[in-house]
Amino acid sequence: MSFEQALAELETIVQDLERGQLDLDAAIRAYERGSALKEHCEQKLKEARLRVERITLAPDGSVRSEPMDPA
């Protein structure tokens, strides 16, 4: 599942929970699904962050790329 798909489903779940119209069992299932989707989105963001590279200009004028500092 893509980040965008997971985020869209998570937004729908949040809206459903905020409306307060789900019975207790459905709300618990929605909350559990939302928690799993949140973890999925966080993992996708972490993976994307690790792939991002920073483009730098060296003192001699050459261009190079290096991994971004995850901090």
pLDDT tens digits for 7-66? 999 999 999 999 999 999 999 999 999 999 999 999 999 888 777 767 777 788 787 777
Closest to 50 in 3D by CA, of 67, 34, 32, 25: 67
Question: Quick one: 32 exposed, middle or buried, by C-beta within 10 A (0-12, 13-18, 19+)?
Answer: exposed
Which residues 6+ apart lie within 8 Å of 37 measured at CB? 6, 7, 9, 10, 13
Contact 27, 33 (CB under 8 A): no
